[in-house]
């Protein structure tokens, strides 16, 4: 079962010692998931920082307090980005500039983060708008979002300079006076690095290994036919071979936890259950990806959550499509309708269906 040995999160600007030489800290995020966990590991002559939060004035001020307090004014030797998402890489470049810190990331994560930081857009691209339309975004929301400035990595991520140390599957790296095996996860982010201590029971899980929430598995216009659900299920199966009940998982959000084998099984079963619900419903009648929200999330999706819900719904539809379970059966106002293969529905037999 899952247990939380440290049930109270660290205060802003403070730290909790979770293992010898390992500090757990938090940075705020301006969204529903209002925090990201970051960690500092004592190297003896300085610190290794794992993940950083957004690059904002508030985050920099908190890091200044952390430097003066728990980090004792000592140098940051290296920074590690578990994956490319902005709440994890926002200040990597800043630490490189202020401390000359070495950056460790997977090649895919570094390339993706650097590309997205440089790719500032004033308006949604035609590909983005078409992706939203095909997924079934309501017309009024589509019109509003098409005209608005989209979120840009550059808004909250410090520029990443050229030069990093590559992390690869199976590497053994040293930091925090421990040796760590690197194991890559996929699905939430490509080549998401997790770290498994060879000296004790610590695991640094980032967003790949979370105790009480499910990481978003999203498809984006850059790769609209991607199958992150399949990648996620494969990763859970592979990482289960490294998991033990006694390991303390230092997660990217919420609380550190033990009981990783159970959690990996639980996350796998949750996605299989969601896929089964989709299959059953699409046997009865076709739906768009957005039309599957109620089946996947079992709650109302607000405007602030809509984007993440859309990309996750597309991910589950794509997985079933790739498996040959469902196929496009028509369109509704430009949105793709999906139905179970071999089952005749009103969309596949009706005279007004726009078949493809």
Query: Mind giving me the DSSP string for 111-149?
Result: HHHHHHHH---SS--HHHHHHHHHHT--HHHHHHHHHSP
Q: Would you say 136 and 291 are in contact if contact means Cβ atoms under 8 Å apart? A: yes
- Which residues, other chains included, contact 202 with Cβ-Cβ below 8 Å and sequence gap of 6+? 19, 22, 178, 247, 248, 250
* Cα–Cα distance for residue pair 341/339, rounded to 1 Å: 6
Helix axes 139-147, 126-135, angle to 10 degrees: 160
Q: Would you say 276 and 266 are in contact if contact means Cβ atoms under 8 Å apart? A: no
223 Rama class: left (phi>0) / alpha (psi -120 to 50) / beta = beta
* Cα–Cα distance for residue pair 312/293, rounded to 1 Å: 9
Phi, psi at residue 246, to the nearest 5°?
Answer: -85, -5
**Per-residue exposure over 300-326, b if at least 16 CB sit within 10 Å of its own CB, e if not:** ebeeeebbbbbbbbbbbbbbbbeeebb
Per-residue pLDDT of the chain (356 residues; tens, 9 = 90+): 999 999 999 999 999 999 999 999 999 999 889 999 999 999 999 999 999 999 999 999 999 999 999 999 999 999 999 999 999 999 999 999 999 999 999 999 999 999 999 999 999 999 999 999 999 999 999 999 999 999 999 999 999 999 999 999 999 999 999 999 999 999 999 999 999 999 999 999 999 999 999 999 999 999 999 999 999 999 999 999 999 999 999 999 999 999 999 999 999 999 999 999 999 999 999 999 999 999 999 888 998 899 999 999 999 999 999 999 999 999 999 999 999 987 654 444 332 333 22
Give the bridge partners for 330, in sequence order.
Answer: 337
The domains found in the chain, sorted by start residue, are 16-123+151-259 (3.60.15.10), 269-349 (1.10.10)
- The SS3 assignment for 354 reads coil
Give the torsion sign (CA, 218, 298, 230, 323).
negative
- Cα 73 to Cα 154, 233, 315, 325, distances in angstroms: 28, 42, 44, 57
Give the torsion sign (CA, 224, 228, 229, 231).
positive
Tokens 């500032």 appear where? 120
* Cα–Cα distance for residue pair 222/274, rounded to 1 Å: 25
Query: Mind giving me the DSSP string for 157-202?
Result: -PPPPS--EEE-TT-EEEETTEEEEEEEE-SSSTTEEEEEESSSSE
């Amino acid at each position: 079962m899952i247990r939380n040995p440290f049930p109270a999160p660290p205060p802003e600007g403070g730290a909790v010692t979770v293992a010898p030489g390992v500090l757990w800290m938090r940075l705020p995020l301006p969204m529903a998931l209002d925090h990201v966990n970051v960690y500092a590991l004592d190297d003896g002559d300085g610190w290794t920082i794992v993940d950083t939060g957004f690059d904002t004035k508030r985050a920099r001020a908190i890091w200044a307090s952390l430097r003066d307090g728990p980090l004792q004014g000592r140098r940051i030797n290296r920074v590690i980005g578990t994956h490319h998402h902005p709440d994890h890489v926002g200040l990597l470049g800043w630490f490189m500039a202020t401390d000359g810190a070495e950056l460790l990331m997977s090649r895919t994560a570094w390339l993706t983060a650097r590309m997205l930081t440089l790719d500032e857009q004033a308006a949604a691209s035609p590909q983005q708008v078409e992706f939203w339309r095909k997924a079934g975004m309501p017309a009024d929301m589509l019109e509003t979002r098409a005209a608005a400035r989209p979120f840009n990595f550059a808004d909250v991520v410090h520029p990443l300079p050229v030069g990093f140390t590559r992390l690869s599957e199976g590497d053994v790296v040293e930091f925090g006076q421990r040796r760590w095996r690197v194991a890559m996860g996929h699905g939430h982010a490509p080549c998401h690095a997790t770290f498994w201590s060879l000296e004790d029971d610590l695991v640094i899980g980032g967003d790949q290994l979370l105790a009480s929430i499910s990481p978003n598995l999203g498809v984006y216009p850059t790769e609209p036919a991607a199958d992150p659900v399949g990648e996620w299920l494969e990763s859970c199966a592979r990482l289960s071979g490294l998991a033990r009940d006694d390991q303390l998982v230092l997660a990217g959000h919420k609380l550190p936890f033990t009981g990783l084998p159970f959690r990996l099984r639980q996350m796998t079963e949750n996605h299989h259950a969601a896929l089964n619900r989709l299959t059953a419903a699409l046997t009865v009648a076709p739906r768009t990806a957005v039309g599957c929200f109620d089946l996947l999330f079992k709650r109302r999706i607000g405007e602030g959550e809509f984007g993440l819900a859309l990309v996750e719904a597309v991910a589950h539809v794509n997985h079933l499509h790739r498996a040959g379970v469902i196929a496009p059966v028509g369109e509704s106002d430009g949105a793709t309708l999906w139905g179970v293969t071999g089952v005749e529905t009103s969309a596949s037999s009706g005279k007004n269906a726009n078949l493809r």
